[in-house]
């Protein structure tokens, strides 16, 4: 019973190793097939007499991360610790405020555009039904943009 499990483990290990070794040498054939409409189809199967087999460059060798990591650790050990000018939290907080301010400026721009269109539509005394619908929709957008600005101001003051 134990011998059978050892044999299975050994066989599984050999398969795993063989798969790892062979994975870099696996090749795929790619065919380039022009169509009548001028487009080109790429396929792993030759789909007609006009198809030609493409010659592909070999895949790049995988980089060895552990060696680079060890080099980075050695380099960090050589250089003395420098005092940080700003903490990560302060940097993140400043970036957050910048993003909120940017969003607030965008909402103000949208609000101004909507208000200008409302003003133009309101100036016309004889409105068509479509203009009335547009006016109602614009008033809803105006309310939405104004409330977004209030929420962003509240968030910015936190």
pTM of the model: 0.45
- Of 40-49, 69-78, 107-116, 123-132, where does the model show the most confidence? 107-116
Tens digit of each residue's pLDDT (9 = 90 or more) over 15-33: 666 665 555 555 567 777 8
Tens digit of each residue's pLDDT (9 = 90 or more) over 53-112: 877 666 666 665 555 556 665 665 665 555 556 688 888 888 989 999 999 999 999 999
Q: How many CA atoms lie within 13 A of 81 on its CB side?
A: 2
Residues 6+ apart with CB under 8 A from 25: none
β-partners of residue 34 are: 40
* Strand order from edge to edge, sheet including 31-34: 40-43, 31-34, 52-53
How do 40-43 and 52-53 pair as beta strands?
unpaired
Task: Tell me the chain's radius of gyration from C-alpha atoms.
Answer: 33
């Amino acid at each position: 019973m134990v011998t059978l499990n050892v044999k299975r483990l050994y066989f599984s290990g050999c398969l795993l190793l063989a798969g790892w070794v062979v994975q870099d040498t696996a090749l795929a054939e790619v065919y380039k097939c022009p169509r009548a409409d001028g487009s080109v189809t790429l396929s792993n199967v030759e789909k007609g007499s006009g198809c030609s087999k493409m010659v592909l460059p070999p895949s790049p060798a995988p980089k060895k991360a552990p060696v680079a990591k060890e080099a980075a650790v050695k380099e960090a050990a050589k250089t003395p610790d420098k005092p940080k000018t700003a903490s990560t939290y302060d940097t993140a907080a400043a970036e957050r405020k910048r993003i909120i301010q940017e969003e607030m400026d965008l909402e103000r721009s949208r609000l101004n555009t909507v208000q200008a269109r409302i003003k133009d539509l309101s100036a016309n005394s004889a409105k068509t039904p479509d203009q009335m619908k547009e006016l109602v929709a614009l008033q809803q957008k105006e309310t939405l943009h104004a409330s977004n600005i209030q929420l962003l101001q509240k968030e910015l003051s936190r």
